[in-house]
Amino acid sequence: MTVHPAHTRVLTSDETGELAVPFTRVALTNGETFDRYCTEGPGSDPEVGLPPLRSAWIDGRGDTTPYDGRAPQLVDNGRSAIRRGEARDEWRGEKRQPRRGANVTQMAYARAGKVTEEMRYVAVREGCDVELVRSEVAAGRAIIPANVNHPESEPMIIGRRFLVKINANIGNSAVTSSIAEEVDKLTHAITWGADTVMDLSTGEDIHTTREWIIRNSPVPIGTVPIYQALEKVNGEADQLSWEVFRDTVVEQCEQGVDYMTIHAGVLLRYVPLTANRVTGIVSRGGSIMAGWCLAHHEENFLYTHFDELCEIFRQYDVSFSLGDGLRPGSTADANDEAQLSELRTLAELTARAWEHDVQVMVEGPGHVPLHLVEENVRLQQDWCHGAPFYTLGPLATDIAPGYDHITSAIGAATIAMHGTAMLCYVTPKEHLGLPNRDDVKTGVITYKLAAHAADVAKGHPGARDWDDALSKARFEFRWRDQFALSLDPVTAESFHDETLPAENAKTA
């Protein structure tokens, strides 16, 4: 569904004529058109899901085979499924695993000099040479999150040489929301421009909710598997084990999750570094793992089993999003020893994942005063050998709960200008409650404008064309075109009409 009558979907290919890459074409009243990057996918009936766009490509490579996969368990859907004795609305997508010895990651192909359909698709979307895509993926400076079990996804790329991307978090919790609501939030987020979506569900029906989301998602889906693993041990962090976690990861890999946040950098010896902070450990994953380390006085099992995780991820082409469990939760704690120690470990883990040809991005803060923002990218890019940086904001001040989409957009635009590849959105409800549908939209639009401001500031080829088209329409009083070209035509038009509702006020 497009958001304005002047918008249509057009499909483009490279010289092979084999691809159908969607763009949003904006028809202007002066006869010109303007094409925009499009994230919303072809649209789906939630109960049917999307067509498996990439199945033919994956099958064509001949390096995977269908298999039954891990047997579903009641615990996958949480405690109420166990109580009921059955899961709700079950759904199983196709499962693929690689043939023995095959390495099916985009990084492995890129390093072998093989150009995949995914890379060609991405090159059309970005309007760049496919060799740039291949070489950046091969070098680890960009990732194409594309699990072989999520064939419904339209390939996209995350890397500093490409358009800055944004992620929207959705997910249920113990207090709110249903499966249908979460699929609706997914659709709403991608309609407004989310490039990836993370499902952070912690409530009931986690497994099934995720299945519905993935089967309906044209964008890569990310998760934080420790959240589900914790549910499986009744929320008691010290009861977690590598075995429970491993099984959860396999469960999610088989469903088609494209990237997973793994808090493997929260080492036992770093935990005391947070003792004198203003806000200690605020990352949920970080505090779960710190709690486990302290309870057992053992090293983080995600760190000690990291190579095994790599082995699993490479079988499905799941990308790491190396979590910053010790990120600062306040401007006071920014760029401190705890944060930077963990970053050094994430750099080490990046190199280890790359030995397995597994794609990696690295997560970043959080809360950072504006003068310290650039240092975060500089150190991450330097230490992590250019692996894509994926940051939450950062929030430039702590004093404005209710407006943290804005405090964080300030930091986000700045950090992206300096080289961050993807921005995780923050909604107005941050720190206060769970985002509803409107909050999701506000968060997405706010982050789209921050990402685009960074693209313009970076001098990204063609980025300013959009600004120029809109500014020209504005200068020529082509109101309808100004609305059609804006990130949110609905809001722009309704604001205009509040003051000047007359129809002729839009044309003169």
**Positions in 435-494 near a second copy (CB under 8 A):** 436, 445-446, 448-450, 452-454, 456-459, 464, 466-468, 470-472, 474-475, 482-483, 485-488, 491-492
Minimal distance in Å, beta carbon 64 to a second copy? 41
Which range, of 11-19, 219-227, 278-286, 293-301, touches a second copy by CB under 8 A? 278-286
Q: How far is CA 419 from CA 88, 135, 255, 464, 469, in A?
A: 43, 18, 32, 17, 26
Minimal distance in Å, beta carbon 200 to a second copy? 15
Question: Residues 279, 284, 294, 340: which binds a second copy (CB under 8 A)?
Answer: 279
10 Å Cβ neighbour count for 403?
14
Which residues partner with 342 through β-bridges?
none
Residues 186-245, interacting with a second copy (CB under 8 A): none
Q: How far apart are CA 468 and CA 24, in angstroms?
A: 17
Residues 352-381, interacting with a second copy (CB under 8 A): 367, 369-371
Question: Residues 98, 203, 225, 428: which binds a second copy (CB under 8 A)?
Answer: 428
Which range, of 142-150, 234-242, 279-287, 310-318, touches a second copy by CB under 8 A? 279-287
Question: Residues 413, 423, 424, 484: which binds a second copy (CB under 8 A)?
Answer: 413
Question: Residues 498, 503, 504, 508: which binds a second copy (CB under 8 A)?
Answer: 498
Does position 280 bind a second copy by CB under 8 A?
yes
Q: Spell out, one character per residue from 303 to 342, where the chain touches a second copy: x when CB under 8 A holds, - when not.
A: --------------------------xxxx----------
Q: How far apart are CA 356 and CA 354, in angstroms?
A: 5
Q: How far apart are CA 455 and CA 467, in angstroms?
A: 11
10 Å Cβ neighbour count for 59?
16
Minimal distance in Å, beta carbon 167 to a second copy? 18
Query: Look-up: residue for tokens 């809109």?
Result: 470
10 Å Cβ neighbour count for 83?
9
Minimal distance in Å, beta carbon 439 to a second copy? 9
Minimal distance in Å, beta carbon 493 to a second copy? 9
Does position 274 bind a second copy by CB under 8 A?
no
Query: Look-up: residue for tokens 């890379």?
Result: 119
> Is 293:266 a contact under the CB 8 Å cutoff?
yes
Q: How far is CA 155 from CA 217, 393, 440, in A?
A: 12, 24, 23
Please identify, using beta-carbon distances, which residue of 10 and 490 lies nearer to a second copy: 490
Q: CA 492, 498, 499, 500 torsion: positive or negative?
A: positive
Minimal distance in Å, beta carbon 479 to a second copy? 9
Minimal distance in Å, beta carbon 364 to a second copy? 18
Minimal distance in Å, beta carbon 176 to a second copy? 7
Question: Residues 402, 461, 462, 507: which binds a second copy (CB under 8 A)?
Answer: 402
The count of chain residues that interact with a second copy, using the rule CB under 8 A, is 72
Please identify, using beta-carbon distances, which residue of 54 and 452 lies nearer to a second copy: 452
Please identify, using beta-carbon distances, which residue of 264 and 454 lies nearer to a second copy: 454
Does position 398 bind a second copy by CB under 8 A?
yes
Q: Please state the separation of Cα 47 from the chain's center in Å.
A: 23
Six-digit token string for 449:
């404008």
Q: How far apart are CA 26 and CA 10, in angstroms?
A: 10
Minimal distance in Å, beta carbon 422 to a second copy? 18
Q: CA 229, 234, 239, 243 torsion: positive or negative?
A: negative
Question: Residues 123, 137, 309, 409: which binds a second copy (CB under 8 A)?
Answer: 409
Minimal distance in Å, beta carbon 494 to a second copy? 8
Which range, of 124-132, 137-145, 156-164, 495-503, touches a second copy by CB under 8 A? 495-503
Backbone φ, ψ for residue 39 (5° rounding)? -110, -5
10 Å Cβ neighbour count for 112?
10
Would you call 318 helix, strand, or coil by DSSP? Answer: coil
Residues 91-120, interacting with a second copy (CB under 8 A): none
DSSP 34: E
> Is 11:42 a contact under the CB 8 Å cutoff?
no
Does position 272 bind a second copy by CB under 8 A?
no
Residues 152-191, interacting with a second copy (CB under 8 A): 175-176
∠ CA 261-264-270, nearest 5°, is 130
Minimal distance in Å, beta carbon 404 to a second copy? 9
Q: How far apart are CA 321 and CA 167, in angstroms?
A: 12
> Is 408:394 a contact under the CB 8 Å cutoff?
yes
